[in-house]
Structure 1
Amino acid sequence: MLIRDATADDWAAIWPFFHQITAAGETFTFPVGLDRESGRGWWMLSAPNLTVVAVDDTGEILGTAKMNNNQHGNGAHVASASYMVDPAHGGRGVGRALVEHTLDRARAQGFRAMQFNAVAATNTHAVRLYERLGFRIVGTIPEGFHHPREGYVGLHVMHRPL
């Protein structure tokens, strides 16, 4: 698996699983009705922020991540990131590789920490992965996420120093 910076042409391969994941409304706080162009604006970031893709030996996109500063000004030293793995390629370590890649990139860019502002408590697979990689839950917003089946559930803020 190779992780590389995403190009504008990669959006065509990202969009189908991006749409599937966001339309389900189970993990991201994105609007569930994003169309293709609006979704591009939410995911495909411009420098100094970045979007990357994980590809296999044939060049097929397995997953993607975006990374940016969590805040501006005096809070710009903390990074944030989001991850999506094509459900057809889940369970193969793609998510873990993307998280590790963004941690390395954030460290190389001089960030002092990484923080996730909105991890649905019901997204137990992601929470477990992030905790294994050194993140800890620093707070939970009660009923901060409206899950389509579980109702109102907690929304974790997770953090780790770099």
Structure 2
Amino acid sequence: MSIRVAAEADWPAIWPFWRDIVEAGETYAYPLGATSEQARGWWLDGSHVVVLEEDDRVLGSAKMGPNRPGRGAHVGTGSFMVDGTARGRGVGRRLGEYAVQWHRDQGFAAIQFNAVVETNTAAVRLWQDLGFEIIGTVPRAFDSATHGRVGLHVMHLDLS
């Protein structure tokens, strides 16, 4: 498995799992029914975006960069999506480790995830394994397709 910067030509490989993840309604608050072009803009524009591939097949993607502009730009953030057929193979962990190191290399002071769905226990566990702490939970802030309204964790990793 290798990680590289995403190119526009990667979108056709990312789109199917991006769409499946969003339409499942369990982890992301992107609008349901998005077109490929809308989703491409949300995912590929304005951030450092990478793909993890194996044997020329994209298994996952991550986007990262400043959490806020201007005076908040010293704190980074990220979003991660893994193809359902590749789950349980360490793809998310590899992308997460990459993102932490990338933020360090870019001089960020910390990483803040604004909205980790509390019922997404695999992601919560991964981020905690990588040193993130839950610093708060916004109650009933995410409308899960399966669980109804559940909390969104704000997770933080100090890079100093």
TM-score bin, normalised by smaller chain: over 0.9
Q: Does 1:115 align with 2:122?
A: no
Q: Offset of 1:83 from its aligned partner?
A: 0.3
Structure 2 residue runs of 5 or longer lacking an equivalent are: none
Determine the C-alpha separation between the residues in 1 that align with 2:145 and 2:92: 23
Q: TM-score, normalised by structure 1?
A: 0.96
- 1:24-69 per-position Cα deviation (integer Å, ceiling 9, x unaligned): 11101111221100000110133xx21100001x210010000020
Q: Does 1:15 align with 2:12?
A: no
Structure 2 equivalent of residue 68 of structure 1: 65
Q: TM-score, normalised by structure 2?
A: 0.97
Determine the C-alpha separation between the residues in 2 that align with 1:160 and 1:33: 33
Task: Give the counterpart letter for 1:27 in structure 2.
Answer: T
Structure 1 equivalent of residue 131 of structure 2: 134
Q: Does 1:154 align with 2:151?
A: yes
Determine the C-alpha separation between the residues in 1 that align with 2:102 and 2:5: 11
Task: Give the counterpart letter for 1:119 in structure 2.
Answer: V
**SS, match of residue 98 in structure 2:** helix
Q: Offset of 1:72 from its aligned partner?
A: 1.2
Task: Give the counterpart letter for 2:32 in structure 1.
Answer: V
Q: 2:48 aligns with which of 50, 59, 65?
A: 50
Work out the percentage of aligned pairs sharing the same amino acid: 52
Task: Give the counterpart letter for 1:105 in structure 2.
Answer: W
Task: Give the counterpart letter for 2:76 in structure 1.
Answer: A
Decide whether the 8 Å contact of 1:45 with 1:66 is kept in 2.
no
**SS, match of residue 38 in structure 1:** helix
Determine the C-alpha separation between the residues in 2 that align with 1:144 and 1:136: 19
Task: Give the counterpart letter for 2:136 in structure 1.
Answer: G
Determine the C-alpha separation between the residues in 2 that align with 1:2 and 1:115: 25
Across the two proteins, how many residue pairs are aligned to each other? 159
Q: Offset of 1:111 from its aligned partner?
A: 0.4
Task: Give the counterpart letter for 2:110 in structure 1.
Answer: A
Determine the C-alpha separation between the residues in 2 that align with 1:33 and 1:161: 36
Determine the C-alpha separation between the residues in 2 that align with 1:158 and 1:134: 10
Determine the C-alpha separation between the residues in 2 that align with 1:69 and 1:125: 24
Task: Give the counterpart letter for 2:118 in structure 1.
Answer: A
**SS, match of residue 98 in structure 1:** helix
Structure 2 equivalent of residue 3 of structure 1: 3
Moved over 4 A (4+): none
